[in-house]
Structures are given as structure tokens and as C-alpha cells.
Amino acid sequence: MRANKEFIGLDKGFWAHVRSISEAQGYTVRGAGVIKTLTAAGIVAAFRKLGLSSDHLVYGGQLTERGVVLCRYFAYRADVLDNFVQPRLMDATRAETVYNELKARLRPKLSVTMNKQSGEMKKIAYLTAIVNMIVESVAGLDGFNYNPGQLTTFTRGAMPLRTLSRRVDGALPGVVNPVALWEIKEYYYTTTFGSRVADGVYETLLDGMELEEMREHEGRNVEHMLALDAHFTWWVKGRSYLCRIIDMLHMGYVDEVLFGYEVVERLPSLVQEWVALAQQQAQAIHEPQIRGADDAVPEEDGQLF
């Protein structure tokens, strides 16, 4: 999903309000399993708890213009998470079924990616494999880097202009001057919402802030996608972080977030857009587009199991 146009381009002060209110009143209704919305009374209570004035949001018992927009955003965030995101988050069993169906239909040549766990929990990284199969089916095996083994770099005059701090999970057409890059956060076998999962959210935020700086100062834009899945981890244990991700999407730090099965629904058309962008960029900026190193080499005869 992309950001709701109603809430694009709002100033950073607005998002400071969203974060402060969310922290003060909490993200979810305890025991109800739903995301909290916002009312005038809730604003006053939150700012009283913070020791700050709410007069610019609620005056004489009535919402100001800023207060109205805040309440509309909180209502939207709750609705999209409760009714769009939650039904699309998969567990390992459903993800395995979707993976097998796509594999039979798309017949990918790319080696399958395994998760980083051990023992009985060492399985195919289903969401990563689904993303890779879909991208390969549209862009071709050599049309993207599915597991970059180096940092993403953007150039000017074939010299480094910006290099990101972290390796990403995929880039198209490659790690040098990509038009699109993505990160994948799947936690099917995680039983708690630990710091590693939370860190994954902030890693995406860091990448988004670096890309924002490049866009604002150098005029270079790149599509930044986040794909995530695991119903138990994200919905049962991590709803507050889903709220933060929706906020991050609307702040412009990520261009598209695909939740669970939405990867199957949305990614094919999205990759078509990326391929067209790569062709346009190759003609427009005359900078090298290099696929770059990856951490694993696909077998010539297909899947590696």
C-alpha cells in the first residue's frame, strides 16, 4: 500500500504530535485487539499527561483545524490496520501454501533463500522467496540483485554521490544507481516481539532518512519498499510497531509497504513500474547501473533445496 494522499506532505511538527499522542494514550485498546483512535477528550488527556498545552488542538471544547486533521489521521490509521493489514498478514502455514502455489506457476530459476534460524525452525524464508519469485518473473533473473553483498551507491559522473549505511535486501536493477530497493521483515517462527524485530523498523527509518536527504539535496529519487509478514509477531505482539510503520509511510520515509499477502496482489505491477523507471533512468542520467555482488549464486539448473 501507498500513503493516503490526504496525509502526504504534512509537516514534521504534525508527526511529532502523532508520536507524542500515541505514546501518551497508547497505540491499542487493551484487551480488545484493536487500534486506538483519537478524540478531543483524548487529546486533552494526552497533553495533560505530557505536561504540555493542548489549546492549539482543542479550544473551548472544540477541535481546531489541526486537531481535526489529527483525529482523521488516527481514525484512518486504525481502520487501515484493523481492516486492510490484519487480514493480509499470514502465518507460516499460509505463507508456505502461497509459496508452493507461486513456485508451481512461475517456475523460478533463482535459488531459494533459507531463514537464519536453526533446528526445526530452519525453513524456507517464505516471504523473501515470494518476493524474489515475483520480481524474477517480471524483471528476469539478471534484472535485479536479490541479495546484495555490498552497500547501495548512487553516483554522479560515475563517482560516488551517496552510499547508504546498510545493505538492503534487494535492488533493481542493482546496487549501483538502483531505481528501487527493498527490505523484507518476516518473523514466522518468532515467539516474542524482541528488540531485533523493533530494530528492523528503525533500520527502515534510517534508510528512509538517508534517501530523503539525497532527494532534497541532490534531486535523486529512488523507490523504497518494505515487505513484512507474520501475523503473530506483527499483529498479536507488535501492533504498536505497525502503527509506527503506517506513520513512517506517510512521513515519506518509505514509498510502499506490502503487508503479507499484499505482496502477491501488488508486487507484480509495482515491478513493472520499476523496470520502466530503470529504462528511463538509463537514458536520462547516463550513470552506470551495476547489478553488483550478491551473497549467494543461483544454480544454473534452478532451485537449491
pLDDT of residue 125: 94
| pLDDT score, position 300 | 41
The pLDDT of 6-21, averaged and rounded, is 97
Confidence band (pLDDT; 50, 70, 90) for 214?
A: very high
Q: DSSP code of 117?
A: -
Residue 39 and residue 109 in contact, taking contact as beta carbons nearer than 8 Å: no
End-to-end alpha carbon distance in the chain: 32
Give the right CATH number for 92-284 from 1.10.3470, 3.40.50, 1.10.287, 3.40.91. Answer: 3.40.91
152-178 in b/e form (b: 16+ CB < 10 A) is bbbbeeeeeebebeebbbbbbbbbbbb
What's the pLDDT score for residue 150? 95
Cell of 229: 509478514
Q: What is the pLDDT of residues 157-178, one digit of tens each?
A: 999 999 999 999 999 999 999 9
pLDDT number for residue 293: 82
Q: How many CB atoms lie within 10 A of CB 79?
A: 12
Q: Contact at 8 Å (CB) between 147 and 113?
A: yes
Beta bridge pairs of residue 290? 176
Neighbours of 199 (CB within 10 A): 10
β-pair type (28-29, 223-229): unpaired
If you average pLDDT over residues 179-205, what whole number do you get? 89
User: What residue spans define the domains of the chain?
Assistant: 5-86, 92-284
pLDDT at 199 over 50: yes
- Can you give 202-257 as a three-state secondary structure string? HHHHHHHHHHHHHHHHHCCCCEEEEEEECHHHHHHCCHHHHHHHHHHHHHCCCCEE
How confident is the model over 245-274, as a mean pLDDT? 98
Mean pLDDT of 292-296: 74
pLDDT of 299 strictly over 50: no
Q: What is the C-alpha separation between 302 and 305, in angstroms, rounded?
A: 10
Q: What is the mean pLDDT of the chain?
A: 93
Residue range 68-96: average pLDDT?
97
CA distances from 118 to 17, 93, 99, 123, 189 (A): 42, 18, 20, 8, 11
Give every CB contact of residue 214 below 8 A, 6+ residues apart in sequence. 154, 161, 162, 220, 222
Q: Which of 27-36, 52-61, 116-125, 275-284 has the lowest mean pLDDT?
A: 116-125
Res. 297 pLDDT band, cuts 50 70 90: very low
Supply the pTM of this predicted model.
Answer: 0.92
Mean predicted confidence (pLDDT) in 52-68:
97
Higher per-residue confidence, 304 vs 86: 86
Residue 302 has pLDDT above 50, yes or no: no
Task: Write the pLDDT tens digit of every residue in 109-131.
Answer: 998 888 877 777 788 999 999 99
Given a cut of 90, whether residue 43 has pLDDT beyond it is: yes
Q: Which of 140-149, 229-238, 286-295 has the lowest mean pLDDT?
A: 286-295
